[in-house]
Each structure stands twice: as structure tokens, then as C-alpha cells.
Structure 1
Amino acid sequence: MISKAIYERIRNGVCAVGHLTTPLTVYRENLDKPIFQVVGTGFLIEENLVLTNRHIVKDLIESTSSGEVPPSQLFIQFVVPHEGSHLELVPRMIREVSYVDDPKLDLGFIKYKTVTEAHFASILPLDIADQWESSVSEEVAVCGYPYGTSILIRGIYLRWGPVVQQGHISAVSPFDTTTMPDELLLDVRRAGGMSGAPIFKPGTGTVIGVHYSGIEGTIAFGVPITRAIVNHAMLQYDRNRVVLNEG
């Protein structure tokens, strides 16, 4: 069971990663229109810094280098519902990205710039586990954007914001009693767009992994993380840093 407070904290800290399908000037005039193409998920880990997957970051880089998407249309978007029917969309242009070289760690970073502090009053970094204490059969939850933009619109709007799924750790690699696993297998339905979603403990909201792949509609795979793993990964930030939009 995920409490309302934990759910809201997780939801607010999770963002869609993708690009605008129109120039920024057009998007600003049509914030209620589905012209944001979701390609993955990310979540805030510190001020102006989002954690996602390396393959999502590389897809963003490729989309701009190929000329498919102008860099100025690469965005992340937070969704913060309020009481009643009020909904606040918080889109931010992606300024720069980086990624981890280690093939076992499908982790990437996205930086953005905060323009209006008030917009981020309820968007806070998620807590990452200090050490690995989870095990097989433990309950977990994943919060992301399965099926990307399709979950937001299908002729009419279905919903705004990420989707939460709950399940269990079905297995860990290389074996059940390992001190720090290389990989997590979850009995959570996997779909495109979920890559980069946080895997967290339902009772506390503590993030223990990052979803990166799986078998469509069935199981999901995740990279287990602790604060030390993320801090070590960030040491590679400058080496693999790619500036997409100055400022």
C-alpha cells in the first residue's frame, strides 16, 4: 500500500522525457494540447538534475545530431495536480546530458534550468537508498510513462502524469543472496516509455533501482542503485557531458 503522501512525492518528482513536436513558441500557446512526445521517464535526484537511462540520453543526442529534432525542442515535463481540477504542467528545456560508460549501469543524466522557483515548490528530489537492503519477494513499485504519449491520448485525453504499478522483486542477478545485485527482475508489466522510471519501496518511497528494459507486457528489468552508486556514476558526468542548449 502506497500512502497518499508518498505517492504524491514520487509522482511530483517523476518527469516525462522527450521532445516537442512543434516549435517552443507554438507549444507555449497550446499547453493543453498533446504536442509533447514522450520517449522515456526520469526522476529528480538533486536540484536541476534528473536521473534516467543511458539509452534514453543517447537517443536524445542521436535525434538532434541526425536533424530529426531541433535541440530547442528537447524537454522534460513534470506534472503536478492540485486540489480540484487544477493541473500544473512544468516543462523544462533540456540544457545538457551525460551518461555512464559501464555497460552494467544503464544510467544517464539530464540537466535543466529552474526559471521560476515557485514551480518547483512541490517537486523535490526523490530519496535514494543509502545501502542495499532489499531481497527477492519484496514489494516494490514503479512510476513512469508506459506506452509513452499513447497513455496520455488516444483520440481523447486519458490522463496527465505518470502511472504507478506495484509488484515484487522476482529475482536478482547473479544469485539471491548476493550482497549487491547487478540486476533486478520485477513482476511488473513493462512497456515502452517506462525506461528511466524509479523503482521504489511502497512503504517509504525510497528509490532502490531504475527500470531500463523488459519483456513487453510481462516482466521488467531494473538497475539496482544506492546513493554511493549514483555518486560514483556522477564522477563521469563531465567526461561524457553533451551540451544541447546553452544557458
Structure 2
Amino acid sequence: MTTSEPILSIRDLVVSYGAIKALHGISMDVYEGEIVCVIGANGAGKSTLLNSVMGAVPVEKGEILFEGKPLVRRSYKVVASGICLVPEGRKIFGPLTVSENLMVGAFLRKDKERIQEDLEWVYTLFPRLKERKDQPGATLSGGEQQMLSIARSLMSSPRVLLLDEPSLGLAPILIKEIFDELKLINERGVTIVLVEQNARQALMLSHRGYVMQTGRVIIQGPSAELLSDPRVKMAYLGKLKA
């Protein structure tokens, strides 16, 4: 599953919003083929971490390496290099059809044959999107919009897929469906970094996990170990005792 060198490496990352520090020297490694989850309470800095990788927020200190080389801090170049973000809140283009949204995801690509192959793959992965390919994105249900957001990112042909709270606002049956599809995406060779409020689901899906609190990593390790860690159970898995 892993190789000796991480595909994505974050080193001593510091990010501030004015006088407020959002990240206090975060370090993290992601190896090719992994699913890595990042859990923590609201305000822990999880979304800031992903947005820093994407070049969407300025970095005060530290570095982000992709395949051992510094990652250019421009979002379109990050996507071109092989990293794409499924943002919190889906952020699809409501007036555009499903198929038009998907093609927006491939806008940096020139390999037309592979684009068509990937389009057929995402339609196989998310059959409801194929059924609704001519509908405006705004007419889809919340779960379908989340599928579209993931599929649009996959159309960029990423090697690393970042996901920010994909289960947010979804019914349990749809959450299970989304997580099943993430497993299939990973099995196809896409490395995944998952920021997720549903800590149990995230740890059950992932190989390794990081727990963040107020801009710092406080616990890390194999997901199976984190699931049984009393600190994680008490704070994030509903095992708090009276």
C-alpha cells in the first residue's frame, strides 16, 4: 500500500487569519494508495489544512511537498499537478447540467480519449448522475449534488483526492453509499485525504488517521488503533462517560 517516500508531505505548516493562528506547525505524510482521514471538532483547522494544500489560503511558514518537490501555491497548478479538492458544501455550478459540471472538472486536460473513459467511469460509479446528465445541477438532491462534486473532481484525473466533509447534511443511507464509492475510488488507485465530521465512519474507511485540535495534530496512527484509543473514543466516538 505504501512506498518509502510520501506522495504528499506537509512540514511544519503555519497559517494565520490576521492575528489568529489557524494552524500551529502541522506536519503530515500521505503515502500513495492510502486513505488518510483527518478528524477533530469544528474550528480545529481541518478545512484550512486542505485549502492550504490547494493554494487557496496563504501559508505563513512551512512547506507542502508533492512527490518530494515543493507544491506551487496556485490552485490551478495544484490541480494540474494531480491534486484536487471536493469542497465542503459541494459548490457545484447550479445552472450547468450534470454533464457540463463534469466537463468543467476536466478543463485542464487535453487527452480527449481518456476524458471520455473517465466520464464513463464516473457514470458507472454514480449511475444516478448518468440518469440526470441533462438536468441542471441545482435540481439534484443533496446526495446527488455531493456525488456530482466528487465526480467533477475525479474528471481532473487526480492522483490525490482531498475531500472536505463529504457526509455533511446527508441521510445515513446516503453517507454509506458515498463511503462505499470512496472505497471503490481508492481501489482504482486514487490516494484519498478525508476530512470528516463522522469520525467513526472515517476511521473505519481509512488506513491511518490524524486527530486535530485547535490547529495542532494531537494524536495520529493506524485507524484501527485510533478506533480503540480511549482519548478518541471519549472525544469523538460517543463514548463519553457521565
TM range (shorter): under 0.3
The structure richer in strand per residue is 1
User: TM (normalized to structure 1)?
Assistant: 0.26
When normalised by structure 2's length, the TM-score is: 0.26
